[in-house]
Every structure is written in structure tokens, then in C-alpha cells.
Structure 1
Amino acid sequence: MVAMEAAYCRTTGSEFHATLQEFDADPTVEGLLVLATPGEGFTPAAVDETLRELSTPVFGGLFPKVIHEGEAHADGAIIAGLAVRPAVETITDADEPISTGGDPITDADDAITSDDDYETAFVFVDAYADDGDRFVQQLFNAYGVEYTYIGGGAGTLDGDTRHCLFTNEGLVGDAAVVARVAAESTIGVEHGWTDIGGPFEITAADGRRLETLDGRPAYDRYAAIIDAETDRTVTKTNFFEVAKSHPFGISRLDAERIVRDPFEVDDDGSLRCFGALPEGEFVHVLQGDPESLVAAADRAHAAASEGATADSALVTFDCVSRAQYLDTAFDRELAALSQRGSTIGALTIGEVANDGRGHLEYYNKTAVVGAVDGL
């Protein structure tokens, strides 16, 4: 089997369209994974026309940056040709049952006994979709632990809610795209953040809006911990700058905490986060440092590489807020993610993965690496 081949190109001008068409015309290419940034001159209407003309199944998303050969790029795209044909589905309603390529399924037992060879599922979610977490939960309810999942939240950091997911029907938003492939994979998921305060009970929340902790407004409780445990003072003005260094961590039994990234304060003292925080769960306030985060990226890459073969494709989805926090030290994280061979990937707004053993999660501030065999 021929391993996956990937090309890096600019998204400006005709180069992006020409590269897509070149891969589409290759008879050995059975599917197209597209990771791109909406560079200057990126025109969704023109992209839609090109996508609709493709005869090869396509999936992927727009991200703040893409990763290619150990470097992060804010003005380009990675187009990867798969040697196996993906089963691609676009989910636009989290209340509707996901199909298995045939009849819709609503029960995990039906998925587990389905007669197919799919083993790995790429998952891309509009990071700004209100139902993003429900898309991921519904996916797990449908398919269970039979798949290794890898992917992330798509979108940009400029507040533009443009359509951000690639499909054969064009760019779509407020949705999720799932591509299942008949390929084995191993995965590494690590974050490197440690506790500085908690646990605190989530006493009121509405999806990604955290309202109260221990019965107090979430902002007040959070600010008190930052003031007591660090040398910083958080205000509503500097909230984003401080919060990128001090996320929340949802407690999990015998597992790393699930990191949640707060990014905005509402007038009533609620905190908006990338990722849901369910009522009744317990959270800690976390902190990190460059050494612990880079070491975590190294562990994620090492865990994925343990199952890699000569035909494995290494794919990385690393949270963009890790890059913002690490700043100039982010080059060290990229080196850790690429040290055992070339990798492709993206800086995502949240990461979608499981560890091959447990529940599918929508992470924040986490490094996810997959070694997918025989793509």
C-alpha cells in the first residue's frame, strides 16, 4: 500500500485550487485531507466551486495555522492524498442520528456490530458552533470505543464566523465533518498543566457558559484563586491574557484532567469557554510552564510513535492557545512534535481525541498526535 503523500501550498491565487485538482486527478488518491489557513485573498466562493468539482472525497478545515515539516504557517495549506477511501459524513444537526454510511444508527450496540473495516475516524468541528460538544458526544454515542478518533476545532481567531469545514459540497459551518478510514492508528494525548486551586463544583452552567463555582459567580471564584495563588491580578480587561496561562481542568478518575479554556467574561460574571463544563462536575484551576508543556508534547509524540510503522502518517493537532502561551518557546514544542519524523497538522481551537481506551473528548490546550498506518 502506498503511504499518504502531502503537499504544502499557498492559499492565495490559483496555487491552492491547482494543487487540489492535481491530487484529484491522481488515480492512486482515494481521499483528500485538507488543512488550511484563510490567507489574504482566500475567496470562499471560488473554493466552493473547486470543491464541488472534485470527484475524490474531501474533508478537513480552516485553522489559525497549519503545521508542515516542523514549522507553523499562517498563510498556507496542506493537501494530503489518502491511499484508502474515506467514508465522509457532514453532521449539521446534533439531534439527528449519525449514519454508518447506510441507515442511521441511534444505539452504540448497532455501531459496534456494523460490518466494516473502519478503525480510525478524523473529526473536525466548527469551534464556534453552539452544538460542537454535542456533535462529539453524539459521535461517541453512535460509534463507541471501536474507533480511534483524532481531529480538532476549526475556525479562525479573528472573530469571523465564516464556514470553516471542507466538504464536497463546499465550505460549511455550524457543523461537524467525520471521515472514517480503514487504517489502524495509535494516539498520544497530553497537556502538561498542573493544579493550583480546587476542586470547585460547577453549580450552574449552560453548555460552554460557566455560570457559578461553589455557588459563586464563576469570574469571582476564578479571580480569587488567581490573586491568592499567583503573582497576577485578573480583571475583565486583561482576562484573556491571564486566562491563557490558567485554564480549568475537569477532574477524571485515573486520567489527566480535561482542560477547558476560558476566554471571555459576561456582564453577570459568567465565563465563556471553548468546550462544555457540565453541572455537577468538579474543576481545578491550572497553570503550566514551558518545560512542562514541551515535555507533554514530547510524550504525546512518543506515545503515538510507539505504534508507527514505515507506512504510518504522523498527524498533529496542537491547541493554538498553547502556541500563544509559549510564544517564542513554541518552536521547542514544534521540535518535540516533529523529532521522530516529519508530521502534518494544524493549530486548532480545541482538540478531538480519545486515548484508544476511553471516552471521546473535546479537549482544550492539549497536544494530540496520531500515527495512522497505511494512509
Structure 2
Amino acid sequence: MVLPEEKKNPKDMVNFLKSKSKVANDLFFIMLGEELDWDIDLFIDLCNKEEITIIGGIFPAVIKGNNLSKDDIIVKKMSATSSTTLVKNISYSPEVFYPIIDKVDMDNKQTAIVLIDGLAKGVDNYLSDLYKQVGDTVNYIGGGAGTMNLKQNPCVFCNEGLFMDAAIVCFVDSKVKLGVKHGWRNLMGPLIATKTNFNTLEELNWSSPFDLYATIIREDSGQDINRDNFLEISKVYPFGIAKENDEYVVRDPINLNEKGEITFFGEVHENVILDVLKGSKEDIIEAAQEAAKEACNNIDDVNDNLMFDCISRPLFLKDDYSKTLDLIIDTLKNGGNKKNLEGALSLGEISSHRQSYLEFFNRTILLGVFYD
């Protein structure tokens, strides 16, 4: 959607959205780069006065074609088939969700747009509860909001306000074909997560996670990993939860504490089987092309593209990340998809890949091609 020049002014943006809103069920999905100087509370108030329905999130950067921007906006207009469901305090709610099943028209193939605080501890419980209620009657696409500094702050919003530790879901009247790939390969495993606490791995194979992880890395590369260089080295060695006949669910190590415990984006359940993974730039770039091929395969009447890509991938690829975006765009065009590539860098990617169980991925590219 082409935005007005003065998009940093909430009043101008609301006037723009009002001009594009034609029917009562119009929904505007808004992605904001983390460095955008914007009064979100004012924007929400103005939208409410004009009865404009919005959902959105703050992300490390937004994707526009083959460019990343930390201070720009992406707006997607959609047709909502349900009211927005907001769940607060997902890290602490014993019952995550109000029942929403009655809001979903099971006779109408739909897509669920899911936004979540990417640093919340209750992501898996939330997604599990959502899937139990709705199942595979819809496809799911979404991402974890948040900022590059990995400090938890309010980052998801809807007409009810701007929230931290929260999740939002809305169902829209459009089909979506999903491509989900990462490019990471097995280096060492299987290993057992013998003790965990939400997204923190406290024991691996009944021993210190860090000691075993450091040994694996040293034997592979000769590098000695420690708390000072943890993020730099660990970006090459994520963990993976194996899924039968499907992609790994990757877990991105983001912190090492003084006890040798490793914290991830996303939860790791006790006694789950883990592998340590490794990837090359070539593998990661090729995976993006595979995701684009998968998303546009046998699809006609395309009306939009929406992409969530983990923030770790451009950090890993560095200057080569632009090649990834160019390759995705070329692959879509070769498949007859001329729509713009837009989306966001995310703190975790949410998808029901191949109409299977709903997952919270890390280090993964998620591309959705919407069609009629």
C-alpha cells in the first residue's frame, strides 16, 4: 500500500487509512520499525475516534522490496472475519484465552494473523491453546514483535492499546500459501533437554548446557565461546528441535548466564530432543529461495505478499542479506507473482507449515502469499 509522504504524523496516517476504509470489516495490519519516532497512543486514539480497526507491532526493521528500514511503516489492508482477540499477561495467565471458536466461520477458509511479544515466556502455551480451539481449519501467519536490544517493552497493539507480554489474533478473509525454511543442518545430536524453565535450558544431557555446547563448538571450529563472545559465535550454532518429515524448529541462543544456562527465543520443553545445528551463508540464502518457491507454487490470483524473517538471519548474512531479498523477489516474479515484497524482521516466526501444528520458529524465513 502506497503511504502518504508525512507518514510519521499519526493524524495524516489516520486520514490516509480513513480514505482507504470502505466497509465495516476493513482491517489495517501495521508494522512499525523500532526507530520510527511516532506517538502510537495518539494514533490508536485517533483510529478509535474514526472507528478504524487496527492491529500491529513494533519490529527491529520492516522489509520493503530489497530494503530494510528501522524507521518506516508497512500497512496491509485486509478483510476481518472476526473481532480482534487480545490476550494480556500471557507469561502468567493459567488460562491463556477466552474462547474464540464461535468467532470463526468454519465454512469460510480463512487465515489467522497472529502477533505476539517475542520476548514473552508464554508463547508456546498461547499457541497451543489457540491451535486446540481452531486447529487446522485455518492457516496461520505472524511473528514476534520487539526490538533489537532484546529488552522487553510494549510492542504489540490494537484498538485497545499498546501492550507488553501480550498476543493478538485476528481472522481475515483470504487464503494464504506458506513457505517456511531456514537452511540450518545437523551438526551434533541427539541431545536431551533434561531440565528447562520456559525458554531457559538449565541442563543438557544431565550436565551444564554451556559446557557441552562449548565442547561441540570447539571440536567443530576450534573457537572458545564465552559470555563475552556468546552472541557472535552462537549465531552460527543454533539448536534445533527435530520434527518428523519437516523442518527443524530452530531455537536461537540469546543469552548465557553465570550458571551456564542458555536462554532462547521460544520455549524448550523438558526432555525434548535437541540437535546443535550449523549453516553456511549459501545454505541460508538457498533456503530463502526454497521458501519463495514453496509459497508461490501453483498459486494464481495473488493479491499480496507478507514476509517475516528472523532478526538473526541478516545478522548472520551481513552484507549478503540483500542477495536474499533480491533472490526472493526474482523467484516470486518468475512464478508470476508481481506483488511487492513487504514484511518485517521478527523475534520469532509463527506458522502452521504444511497445515501442520502451529509453531513458533526461530532463525527461519516465513513467506505468505495471499490469494483469492
Instruction: Give TM-score, length-normalised by structure 1.
Output: 0.90
> Alignment partner for residue 312 of structure 2, among 298, 321, 341?
321
Q: Tell me the percent identity.
A: 26
Question: CA contact under 8 A between 1:10 and 1:75: conserved in structure 2?
Answer: no
> Alignment partner for residue 227 of structure 2, among 208, 211, 236?
236
> Alignment partner for residue 39 of structure 1, among 15, 30, 35?
35
Deviation (angstroms), 1:171: 1.5
Where does residue 2 of structure 2 map in the other structure?
7
Question: CA contact under 8 A between 2:4 and 2:12: conserved in structure 1?
Answer: no
CA separation of 1:21 and 1:354: change in aligned 2, threshold 3 A: same
Q: Look up the SS of the partner of 2:323 in the other structure.
A: helix
CA separation of 1:190 and 1:144: change in aligned 2, threshold 3 A: same
Question: CA contact under 8 A between 1:47 and 1:170: conserved in structure 2?
Answer: no
Where does residue 76 of structure 2 map in the other structure?
80
1:332-363 Cα deviation digits (max 9, x unpaired) = 11112222232111000110001133111000
Aligned residue runs from structure 1 range 44-193, under 5 A? 44-83=40-79, 87-92=83-88, 93=90, 94=93, 95-100=95-100, 102=102, 115-193=106-184
Where does residue 192 of structure 2 map in the other structure?
201
58-67 vs 114-123, which deviates more?
Answer: 114-123
Q: Which amino acid is 1:211 matched to? A: E
Aligned residue runs from structure 1 range 261-276, under 5 A? 261-276=252-267
1:246-281 Cα deviation digits (max 9, x unpaired) = 100011112121100011111211101001111111
1:202-227 Cα deviation digits (max 9, x unpaired) = 10001101011100111111111000
Deviation (angstroms), 1:161: 2.6
CA separation of 1:46 and 1:11: change in aligned 2, threshold 3 A: farther
125-134 vs 184-193, which deviates more?
Answer: 125-134
Number of equivalences: 359
CA separation of 1:181 and 1:154: change in aligned 2, threshold 3 A: same
Q: Look up the SS of the partner of 2:194 in the other structure.
A: strand
44-53 vs 298-307, which deviates more?
Answer: 44-53
Deviation (angstroms), 1:89: 1.2
> Alignment partner for residue 22 of structure 2, among 28, 44, 48?
28
Q: Look up the SS of the partner of 2:193 in the other structure.
A: strand
Q: Which amino acid is 1:149 matched to? A: Y
Q: Which amino acid is 2:356 matched to? A: G
CA separation of 1:10 and 1:240: change in aligned 2, threshold 3 A: farther
Deviation (angstroms), 1:9: 6.3
Distance, in Å, in 1 between the alignment partners of 2:6 and 2:185 is 38
- Gapped runs of 5+ residues in structure 2? 333-337
Distance, in Å, in 2 between the alignment partners of 1:343 and 1:125 is 22
1:21-63 Cα deviation digits (max 9, x unpaired) = 3123334361101011132533343334334334132112110
Q: Which amino acid is 1:334 matched to? A: L
- Gapped runs of 5+ residues in structure 1? 1-5, 104-110
Deviation (angstroms), 1:299: 0.7
1:189-247 Cα deviation digits (max 9, x unpaired) = 00000111111111000110101110011111111100011232211110011111110
Distance, in Å, in 2 between the alignment partners of 1:176 and 1:118 is 22
Instruction: Give TM-score, length-normalised by structure 2.
Output: 0.90
Question: CA contact under 8 A between 1:236 and 1:265: conserved in structure 2?
Answer: yes
Where does residue 335 of structure 2 map in the other structure?
none
CA separation of 1:68 and 1:100: change in aligned 2, threshold 3 A: same
187-196 vs 152-161, which deviates more?
Answer: 152-161
Where does residue 13 of structure 2 map in the other structure?
19
